[in-house]
Structure formats: C-alpha cells, structure tokens
Structure 1
Amino acid sequence: MEKGFLLLETAVTGFLLVTASLLCFSYGMLNRQRAESEASHAAVYLAREQMARIEANAVFYRGYTGDIPWLGDNGPDIKNLNGREYEVETTMRGAEEGAGLREVTVCVRWKGAADKREEKFRKLVDCGG
C-alpha cells in the first residue's frame, strides 16, 4: 500500500513542478511582450507629437527640405520615456503632389529586448503655396 502512495506523491510533485515552471516561463514572456508594447506605443506618441508640432508651424517650413530636430521638450533628438531612450529623426522633402506640400518622415528608434527597434511614419503636410 505504501508503494502506491509513494508513486502517486512523486507523480503529483512532478506535475506541480512542471506546472510551476511553465507558469514562470509564461509570466516572463508576457512581461517582455508588455514592455515591447509599451515601447512601441511610446514611439507612436513621440512621432505624433513631432508631426503635430510641424503641422502647427507648417507655414514656417514653406519651401524647406532637410532634417528637422526634435521639437518637443527634453533635448534635441533624444526623449526618455518609461526608462528607455528614443531617438527621433525627422526629414522633410518636397512632395510630388503639389508645390505647397511637403512629405514629412518621422523615424523613432529605441533599443528593444534583443535588438534595435523602429517605427516609421510618413505624412503629407500642407505648408502653403
């Protein structure tokens, strides 16, 4: 009778150990995915802020082509959010669609869990003709 209980206890203990290790692995994976999602959302926020500031001063950029520095707070090209450093690179060039239109490209880069990540956005901005 005792041999049967020992086998059952060993099986239950093994099952609990496997379940606990799978839960720890899943938790770590979900935590990494959450962090990457937060970083991507922050990059979208930075790109939208840069675009909004350019559109608010669109007349200033009439006829301009070239790089545009970070227009927000906290320094020229780097923004810190959620403990990560983001690099915002913005370029403006003439658009083929019209004389007053400019194609604005905002690229936001940051270091992800294992490599460099980036989000890139393009928009046509009417700077007046």
Structure 2
Amino acid sequence: HSSSIQDLAVYDWRYPVGGYCDNVQGAGGILIDADNKGIESTTISNVLVYWFMGGTGLTMRAQNSGGMAYSNIQNLRIRHGLEGIRLSADATSFVNSNSFVGGAISGGITDVALIAEGPGACNDNK
C-alpha cells in the first residue's frame, strides 16, 4: 500500500471568528496509519500543515503488526501546533527508513517538534 499528498494546505482554522468553531480544535493534520498492513513509498511534497493546536501536524503510526518504510517527505511545513511530527510503532510494528528533506517545523509548537516512540522500532528515519 502507498499514498501521496502534493501541493496542499491543511488548516485547522476557526471560521467564523466568534462563532462555534472558536472552541473546536482538530485532533491533527495528516495521519498515515499502517494498521495490520505494510505501507511503503509514501510521498508528501509541498504541503503546509497549519494551526493544529489540539493535535499533531503529521502522525506516522504503525500498529497491529503493521509497518511503514521508505516514505519520501519533501518541503513539509508545519506551523503552530501541539506537536510537529510523531512517529509511533507498537510492540509488533515498525516505522523505519523514512526520509525528510527540506521541511520546517516552526511557530508556536506547544509540546514537541519531533517525537519517535515505541516500543516497536522507530529507526533510520532521517
């Protein structure tokens, strides 16, 4: 399985100001979920993820014997959020050998810019 996102802006913006959405926060921007399957060669190119103050800009998650490898992420910009990028693998899964080139995490990142968590393998991501 594979996926691709190109030339896109993903916003969690409150419209209209003063309305109902002022009190609503998105859980996150982009989720790639290898749930009991392998995902490889995902491409993310020229993407802006903006204002996910209640969640993570990009989550790459493997669970239930799933795996994610060989993704190519170029020019990903994450601005203002709770977390920038989260790589996560449960004990039966892996998130390995994914490449990040020419991106930025900036603005008001409240918690952490980049986190890789196990107990599964989260290595050789660069």
TM (norm. structure 1) is 0.22
* Structure with a larger share of its residues in strand: 2
- If each structure's helix is expressed as a fraction of its own residues, which one has the higher value? 1
TM-score (norm 2): 0.23
- Which has the larger Rg? 1
